Structure 1
Amino acid sequence: MPEVIFAGPEGRLEGRYQPGKDPNAPVAIVLHPHPQFGGTMNNKVVYNLFYLFQRRGFSVLRFNFRGVGRSQGVFDSGVGELSDAASALDWLQSFNKNATETWVAGFSFGAWIGMQLLMRRPEINGFISVAPPANMYDFTFLAPCPASGLIVNGSADKIVPPGDIKKLADKLKLQRGITVEHTLIDGANHFFEKHMDEMLGTVENYLDSRNAGVRLAEAS
């Protein structure tokens, strides 16, 4: 898995990139949780989502937001981090100009950033939002939500109350032209400790339902 350094708005950004084998491979970026609470691109949820996309034949990138690891800059309360995500997607697309699909996945704070990126980039046609912090951040910008996707969270989440995520999901489900699925994993906490496989299985099943990826690993 190649380590990569690419230009961001405030200097270099550090990432990990796995190119797909197909020249027209779909692309995905995976966004990590809150930098000020220990969030990095090596978070277990982010790490496992990255490899899930890789297994499905995506060209996939995860990276550290500004001020995390070897990424330059300082935390910017989401504004700069959204710009970082846009730069990351630009970099990923520069190596995958014929990508058949574009997906964004994010965990917690990264889910909030990912949903904002979704609004700015019409080429994104699918999203995975894991434990979006609906109690901490305003999601009213999703009006309307431009693409279909999956929201998944745990029933034992003490950081983001499940009821707040349900309200967000129910609101998005009312929009026409897209389909937002919501799965609540019984007993799972915010970090899906002891429920990681179940969360990943939910994402895998959703990607299957969207026929997302080229599944080269299975074909070989």
Structure 2
Amino acid sequence: MPDVIINGPAGRLEGRYQHASADNAPIALILHPHPQHGGTMNNKIVYTLYHAFARQGFSVLRFNFRGVGRSQGAYDRGEGELSDAASALDWLQMYNTNASTCWVAGFSFGAWIGMQLLMRRPEISSFISVAPPANLYDFSFLAPCPSSGLVVQGTTDEIVPEASVKKLVDKLAHQRDISIEHSIVEGANHFFQGQLEQLDSITEDYIARIQHGSETPAKLDS
């Protein structure tokens, strides 16, 4: 799990990268929660997602947004962080030119950035969003959502109410040609304290089914 430095739009970005052995291994980019509220690439949920993808044979990258850890720059209200994510994806693709598929995953603020990134990058085929802050940020740009994915939410999230995420999921699930899975973890708070193993199981199962199984993203029956 080597440390890497990526040339970002505001300077160097600090990252951690694990390269898969297969030449055409899929790739995944993991995005951390809000930089101004303690979010870093070492967040436990980010770490959990990172290793779930690695175990499924992905080349996977997590990194610190600008102004976090050893990453240069300063917080930029999401606009600069989206540019950081695009640069990180460019770096990941440069080292995996034969990648079979491309995924993005994020937690909280990182989920919001990840959903914006998939609107701009058509090569992203699937996503995982953990506790997307639908009550705090505008997700109306997902019109339509271009990729299938998984949304995971806890029932006792004190920051992002379950109802706001369900409203977002319901809106996305009625779009054509994509499938949105919604996994609800009973009793989980925003940081899935005490329930990271369940989050790990849910996300790795989804990755395995979509990436390696017979199931492929398709329209969800309503």
TM-score, length basis structure 1: 0.95
Q: Map 1:151-170 onto structure 2 (within 5 A).
A: 151-170=151-170
What SS is found at the alignment partner of 1:190? coil
Distance across 2 between alignment mates of 1:80 and 1:211: 30
Distance across 1 between alignment mates of 2:53 and 2:16: 13
Distance across 1 between alignment mates of 2:18 and 2:201: 21
Find runs of 4+ consecutive structure 1 residues off by over 6 angstroms.
none
What SS is found at the alignment partner of 2:124? coil
Match of 2:52 in 1: 52
Match of 2:129 in 1: 129
Match of 1:218 in 2: none
Distance across 1 between alignment mates of 2:205 and 2:94: 29
Match of 2:200 in 1: 200
Cα pair 2:13 2:71 within 8 Å, conserved: yes
Match of 1:92 in 2: 92
What SS is found at the alignment partner of 2:140? coil
Q: Map 1:74-89 onto structure 2 (within 5 A).
A: 74-89=74-89
TM-score, length basis structure 2: 0.95
Match of 2:6 in 1: 6
Over the residues paired in the alignment, what is the CA RMSD in angstroms?
0.9
Distance across 1 between alignment mates of 2:196 and 2:172: 25
Match of 1:28 in 2: 28
Amino acid at match of 1:151: V
Structure 1: give runs of 5+ residues left out of the alignment. 214-220
Distance across 1 between alignment mates of 2:158 and 2:201: 22
Amino acid at match of 1:5: I
Amino acid at match of 1:58: F
Cα pair 2:53 2:207 within 8 Å, conserved: no
Structure 2: give runs of 5+ residues left out of the alignment. 214-222
Distance across 1 between alignment mates of 2:149 and 2:141: 16
Q: Kindly tell me the number of residue pairs found equivalent between the two proteins.
A: 213
Distance across 2 between alignment mates of 1:120 and 1:39: 24
Cα pair 2:56 2:208 within 8 Å, conserved: no
Q: CA deviation at 1:212?
A: 4.3
Distance across 2 between alignment mates of 1:126 and 1:114: 11
Distance across 1 between alignment mates of 2:148 and 2:211: 13
Q: CA deviation at 1:7?
A: 0.2
Q: CA deviation at 1:199?
A: 1.1
Distance across 1 between alignment mates of 2:202 and 2:157: 17
Distance across 2 between alignment mates of 1:63 and 1:212: 26
Cα pair 2:125 2:148 within 8 Å, conserved: yes
Q: Map 1:97-116 onto structure 2 (within 5 A).
A: 97-116=97-116
